[in-house]
Structure 1
């Protein structure tokens, strides 16, 4: 696809800190060498153990990242929406994909092929640092999530994860006040049962902190949700 056709997505991508902070010539290169990919709901972008085929940016819809254990139990790690870039881990270590990436709805992606990335990095090694910053940002979020699951009580854990998703995972993707996420998915992300997660969400809804619809959680009061994530009494 002509890069001029992709430039209309550039402003959207530049709303997120990582892409906006890249040198202009690197942003130009990524857009120039990209193509568009569309996934239908439930379709895999890639499976755990597959070869890397480059970097992707979510332009519309969302991707769920997780793994399935030997017992068939799924661990959902994150759901990333528009402006999120994914796939940089395999770019660094050359190893297969570490998890599954699945479209949770019809999803539009910008794809920068592996060959174009390797050619760029071979000719301009200083750009490795820019991709390392993306991986470091994701690593920090992973540490925060692991710490919350290990240390926070259930109610704080749910509020904390809702805040993180709504805030765009600390800048990995665009902030949002409406989270398209099922209660089953949220329960998997915070390592709680669906019943417990449902009750905690109902408690937040009764306090008019969130509003619940099928497959969607709307944040009504960020300040009080933040207080709930810290275990502070309801204002």
Structure 2
């Protein structure tokens, strides 16, 4: 696929779709397509800033592993989401590890070229700030839920967010390519607890579970379950 074909995929996301046409053109002009094999590392915590990324196909796993081998999974970034903007603002090292999930295709906007573009057009910084503020808002909501919401509501809410593209896409998805252990890691729950909650949602006719996949059968009932 050429860059204009990828552009159509990116336009399905609210952030890129609402950028000025000149900024869209400029980002695509300096971007490169990068492919990751399953499990291939994109960057690790502590690496220097390397730019902005968008997922075109596949997914990217963002997280960290401590010295004891315990993993924290922050998110699974899927098309047409963008990530990596924090280091653009502060110039500091990467905060987490990023790995490809399955065969993945990314759009990479290199740091130096992007900073040069922003130097020439400083008003574009606002658009990058909107990208970051949307994720910050979701982070605050997740922290609140961690403290206040029971586990079943947290599971339902996270599934609802994923199905609705974290508010970034127009149309919701029925099929979520999400193994149960990854969902458990995202929510800091045990796999056993997560599996039990998912089975209860399946018994209520809200979900259908299969290997590595969760199918949303009733989005409205899932929305109600997410309210606690």
Into which bin does the TM-score normalised by the smaller protein fall? over 0.9
Query: Is 2:181 aligned against 1:151?
Result: no
Give the match for residue 208 of structure 1: 205
Query: Is 2:10 aligned against 1:13?
Result: yes
Of 162, 185, 188, the residue aligned with 1:188 is 185
1:114-149 Cα deviation digits (max 9, x unpaired): 121011011111111110000001111111111111
Tell me the number of residue pairs that the alignment of Structure 1 and Structure 2 aligns.
228
- The alpha carbon displacement at 1:70 in A equals 3.0
Give the match for residue 214 of structure 2: 217
SS at 1:155 equivalent: helix
Give the match for residue 168 of structure 1: 165
Question: Is the CA contact (8 Å cut-off) linking 1:209 and 1:220 kept in structure 2?
Answer: yes
For 2:171 and 2:178, locate their aligned partners in 1 and report how far apart those are by CA, in whole Å: 15
Which residues of 2 match residues 120-159 of structure 1 at below 5 A? 120-159=117-156
For 2:35 and 2:188, locate their aligned partners in 1 and report how far apart those are by CA, in whole Å: 31
With normalisation by structure 2, the TM-score equals 0.96
Query: Is 2:115 aligned against 1:115?
Result: no
Structure 2: runs of 5+ lacking an equivalent: none
Give the match for residue 25 of structure 1: 22
SS at 1:75 equivalent: strand
Question: Is the CA contact (8 Å cut-off) linking 1:166 and 1:175 kept in structure 2?
Answer: yes
Question: Is the CA contact (8 Å cut-off) linking 2:12 and 2:169 kept in structure 1?
Answer: no
For 1:180 and 1:136, locate their aligned partners in 2 and report how far apart those are by CA, in whole Å: 26
1:30-72 Cα deviation digits (max 9, x unpaired): 1111111000111111111101111111000011111122322
Of 66, 70, 74, the residue aligned with 1:69 is 66
Q: Which stretch of structure 1 is more off in the superposition, 71-80 or 23-32? A: 71-80
Structure 1: runs of 5+ lacking an equivalent: none
For 2:130 and 2:27, locate their aligned partners in 1 and report how far apart those are by CA, in whole Å: 16
Question: Is the CA contact (8 Å cut-off) linking 2:156 and 2:222 kept in structure 1?
Answer: yes
Q: CA RMSD in A?
A: 1.5
Question: Is the CA contact (8 Å cut-off) linking 1:80 and 1:173 kept in structure 2?
Answer: no
Give the match for residue 54 of structure 2: 57
For 1:171 and 1:201, locate their aligned partners in 2 and report how far apart those are by CA, in whole Å: 25
